[in-house]
Amino acid sequence: MIATLSNKKKNRLPQVLEHASGDKRFKILEAHIKKHQFKQDALIEVLHKAQELFGYLEDDLLLFVAYRLKLPTSRVYGVATFYHFFTLKPKGKHTCVVCMGTACYVRGADKVLAAVEDKTGIKAGETTPDGEISLLTARCIGACGIAPAAVYDGTVTPRQTPDLALEKLKGWMGHGN
**Contact positions vs ligand FES (CB under 6 A):** 99, 101-104, 140-144, 147, 149
Cβ distance to ligand FES smaller for residue 43 or 96: 96
Task: Tell me which amino acid residue 158 is.
Answer: P
Note if the bond before 129 is cis, omega within 30 degrees.
Answer: no
Q: How far is the CB of 172 from ligand FES (least distance, A)?
A: 22
Q: How far is the CB of 155 from ligand FES (least distance, A)?
A: 14
Q: CA 37, 51, 12, 78 torsion: positive or negative? A: positive
- Our measurement of the distance from residue 137's CA atom to the centroid of its chain's CA atoms, rounded to an integer in Å, reads 8
Q: How far is the CB of 100 from ligand FES (least distance, A)?
A: 7
Cβ distance to ligand FES smaller for residue 66 or 113: 113
- Our measurement of the distance from residue 68's CA atom to the centroid of its chain's CA atoms, rounded to an integer in Å, reads 18
Cβ distance to ligand FES smaller for residue 92 or 142: 142
Residue nearest to ligand FES (CB): 101
Q: How far is the CB of 37 from ligand FES (least distance, A)?
A: 25
Could you tell me the CA-to-CA distances from 49 to 25, 82, 152, 176 in Å, in that order?
10, 17, 20, 36
Q: How far is the CB of 52 from ligand FES (least distance, A)?
A: 10
Cβ distance to ligand FES smaller for residue 13 or 124: 124
Residue 160: partners with Cβ closer than 8 Å, 6 or more residues away: 98, 109, 112, 148, 149, 150
Cβ distance to ligand FES smaller for residue 127 or 137: 137
Size (the chain), residues:
177
